[in-house]
Amino acid sequence: MNMLKTSLLLTALLTAPVTFSALAQQPVEVARVSVSAIAAAPSVVEDAIAKLAQEKDATSWKITSMRIDSSTHATAILYK
């Protein structure tokens, strides 16, 4: 009976990383981009980031910073 428990434990330990990695796939960073526009709404800058993401075949992006004053500036990370 002890051998069976050891076999089951080893099987569980060996398959756990595979299962976990399949469930927790992290997005892959494609690029970091920066966009600026003078006297533009934040949506204009976000549209520019979306266009850059499409050009680089990214599936998503995350805006990491945005500044709005007389001009609008944003930085983002593009992911696949």
Amino acid (one-letter) located at 32: R
Beta bridge mates, 36: 73
pLDDT of residue 41: 84
Write out the H or E segment, with its range, that includes residue 76. strand 71-79
Residue position matching structure tokens 């593009």: 78
What's the pLDDT at 74? 92
Task: Give the chain's end-to-end CA distance (angstroms, integer).
Answer: 47
pLDDT in tens, the chain (80 residues): 444 444 444 444 444 454 454 555 788 999 999 999 898 888 888 999 999 999 999 999 999 999 988 888 999 999 99
pLDDT at position 24: 59
Identify the structural domains of the chain with CATH numbers, from first to last: 2-79 (3.30.1660.10)
Q: Is the pTM higher than 0.75?
A: no
For residue 23, the model assigns a pLDDT of 53
